[in-house]
Amino acid sequence: MTDAPTLVWLREDLRLDDNPALRAAADRGQPVACLYVVDDEVAGTFALGGAQRWWLHHTLNTLRADIEKAGGVLILRRGDARVIVPAVADELGAHAVYWNRRYMAWQIEQDKALKETLSDGREVKSFNGRLLNEPWQIETKTGGPYKVYTPYWKQVQARDVRNPLAKVTKLSAPARVPESDNVEAWELLPTRPNWAKGFEPVWTPGEKGARQRWREWLKTQGPSTYNDSRNRPDLDDTSRMAPHIHFGEISIVTMYREMQDKIEAGEVPEEHGKVFLSELAWREFSYNLTYHFPQMFDEPLMQKFAKFEWDNDNDQFTAWTKGLTGYPIVDAGMRQLWHEGHMHNRVRMIVGSFLVKDLLIDWRKGMDWFWDTLVCADPAANTASWQWVAGCGADAAPFFRIFNPISQGEKFDPDGDYVKRHCPELAKLPKKYIHKPWEAPPFVLRDAGIELGKDYPRPIVDHGSKRKEALARYEAIK
Ligand SMILES: Cc1cc2nc3c(=O)[nH]c(=O)nc-3n(C[C@H](O)[C@H](O)[C@H](O)COP(=O)(O)OP(=O)(O)OC[C@H]3O[C@@H](n4cnc5c(N)ncnc54)[C@H](O)[C@@H]3O)c2cc1C
């Protein structure tokens, strides 16, 4: 059979290395065309948020260049994938259509429907290009999904992880290439105002940027101190690989295997390297949960929380989003999120607890804000993590474990460096008051150039009394 092109529908696997669908297409030995579809229609509330649109713009530009360098083509289209994928397959005269699987209920439904439509005379195949283990591959002894992380992690460790597949370096383009949109015309970048300015010095979207960050991080002290330093936002020692992983610019198999090799070679101490691997498994656990309990995207997994009484005060919610709550560690986190599209994991837990348990605002509002502002926003990880923070998810932090924003700040940002980085108006405040400026005597505030209520807000709520209120509300649903 000559010139029987293969169509590879790329989704959250925007790479040429260890890409099972693309590898299989290249190995077919026929011309290959790649397709990316921005599908806001079917995605509904999971249409890409603003920060991710910025990322998508840049990653698609680099992906196109990488594919073209290998001799292939990338077609871009916008709209309902259920219509576009078969249309492009027809225009191309594709004999085969391949993709890597996704795991949200609506995505699975879409893939099933497409498989049926496309199978009419074509070979249609899907692959695992996103996870170490697919959600149905790890079950409890009695069958069914794990709801507790530790035994799940044990199972992950007991299973072999396959070898990464060779990078696709050579593709042949089809004779007739269907038309492509221009990514510039999609207007994914913010302009008025350009709120993503702060992203540019921090991130390099694309496969090359992912590989580079991963390699560089492996050379830092981050992996060798991970179990301790991962909790310290001031040190900023974590990998920051999350957005690259989310867009599939690097494969999780590659990362897992390379960290395993470093541990075996004695280059990363086992007690630290293993914790990093276990964090990758937390991501998988989120996929496991949301695959088996898709209601989690909208509802608390623990049903009793459906009756929880929220205040949902709009002004307080706005103060939280803007980093103007008067609690420095919370404000630093929320401002980091806005400026960089990222927030340190420890601080995500602190701001989440503050929203839910101090402000008594529904965790779903926080989840939606993160969805719009995080460059790594991931349906599974974001949903499962918010439910964890709110105490209503699987293996969640118990509701009565309420983070104290002052002691959390003092413990994990002991010199206040993280706060000072993101709340520069507090930069001159002595360490003793950096996490509780309202306790500073007037002359200290004056020397630091701060007038509370003018240069920096007074706390919008009193943590002690809100803590009691939150516990009382919890008692009411117990
Ligand atoms: C409220 C809340 C919301 C979150 N939303 C997201 C989200 O939308 N997308 C997302 O990728 N992560 C989310 N996380 C998990 C975690 O905060 C980020 O993965 C991590 O901070 C990313 O930084 P890093 O790449 O430097 O992580 P590292 O510490 O270097 O970890 C390496 C990788 O492991 C994975 N990982 C680490 N911790 C977790 C975790 N707790 N749960 C799931 N995966 C994890 C990520 O892929 C991460 O890139 C959320 C956590 C909380 C508390």
Over the stretch 85-97, which tens digit does the pLDDT of each residue have? 999 999 999 999 9
Tens digits of residue pLDDT in 450-463: 999 999 999 999 99
- Residue 227 bears catalytic tag: no
Tens digits of residue pLDDT in 37-59: 999 888 888 999 999 999 999 99
Q: What sign does the dihedral 59-38-25-247 (CA atoms) show?
A: positive
Determine the atom of ligand 1 nearest the C-alpha atom of 377: 8
Confidence of residue 368 (pLDDT cuts 50, 70, 90): very high
Question: What phi-psi label fits residue 393: left (phi over 0), alpha (psi between -120 and 50 degrees) or beta?
Answer: beta
Question: What pLDDT score was predicted for residue 317?
Answer: 98
Confidence of residue 133 (pLDDT cuts 50, 70, 90): very high
The number of helices, as runs of H, and strands, as runs of E, in the chain is: 20, 5
Sequence ranges of the domains in the chain: 6-129, 131-163+207-292, 303-471
Cα(324) to ligand 1 centroid in Å equals 24
Say how far apart CA 239 and CA 161 lie, in whole Å.
21
Topology (CATH) of 131-163+207-292:
1.25.40
- Residue 386 bears catalytic tag: yes
The whole-number average pLDDT for the span 215-232 is: 96
Q: Is 452 helix (H, G, I), strand (E, B) or coil?
A: strand
CATH among 3.40.50.620, 1.10.579.10, 1.10.3720.10, 1.10.260.40 for 303-471: 1.10.579.10
Report the percent of the chain where pLDDT is more than 90.
95
Catalytic residue among 310, 338, 425, 438: 310
Average pLDDT along the chain: 96
Confidence of residue 395 (pLDDT cuts 50, 70, 90): confident
Best CA proximity match to 371, nearest among 11, 50, 41, 106: 50
Catalytic residue among 9, 203, 214, 363: 363
Going by C-beta distance under 8 Å and a sequence separation of 6 or more, which residues neighbour residue 31? 3, 5, 6, 171, 172, 173, 174, 175
Question: What pLDDT score was predicted for residue 397?
Answer: 78
**Position 5 pLDDT exceeds 60:** yes
The whole-number average pLDDT for the span 369-380 is: 98
- Residue 279 bears catalytic tag: yes
The whole-number average pLDDT for the span 231-257 is: 98
**Position 1 pLDDT exceeds 60:** no
Tens digits of residue pLDDT in 413-460: 999 999 999 999 999 999 999 999 999 999 999 999 999 999 999 999
Q: Is 238 a pocket residue for ligand 1 (Cβ < 6 Å)?
A: yes
The whole-number average pLDDT for the span 21-41 is: 96
Question: What pLDDT score was predicted for residue 2?
Answer: 59
Confidence of residue 349 (pLDDT cuts 50, 70, 90): very high
The whole-number average pLDDT for the span 181-186 is: 96
Say how far apart CA 18 and CA 10 lie, in whole Å.
13
Cα(242) to ligand 1 centroid in Å equals 6
The whole-number average pLDDT for the span 100-110 is: 95
6-129 — its CATH code?
3.40.50.620
Question: What pLDDT score was predicted for residue 45?
Answer: 85
Question: What pLDDT score was predicted for residue 406?
Answer: 98
